[in-house]
Amino acid sequence: MAGAMNLLGKKYGLPQAFSLHSSFEWMPEFDKGAVIIAIGESNWLEQHWGEYFKYVEEIGIVEMQVKKANIIIASFYVKD
């Protein structure tokens, strides 16, 4: 998904996506606070992002059922 977001996001002025999964695994350097929108099938918790950032604050979580998958969209404010 992150690769597709980067490809299509340029047209809409979206920030660069990153992923910590599979062959697209990388994370850019952050020089200031950032908002991360995490999309996945598992529960994204503040502790997960705490491995990568010194400050993590949960902004909100939305859960939805798509076919048989439980999709979670979570947003966090993070700072290094």
Q: Could you report the per-residue pLDDT of 6-38, keeping only the tens digit for each?
A: 888 888 888 777 777 777 666 767 666 777 777
- Cα–Cα distance for residue pair 36/66, rounded to 1 Å: 22
pTM over 0.75: no
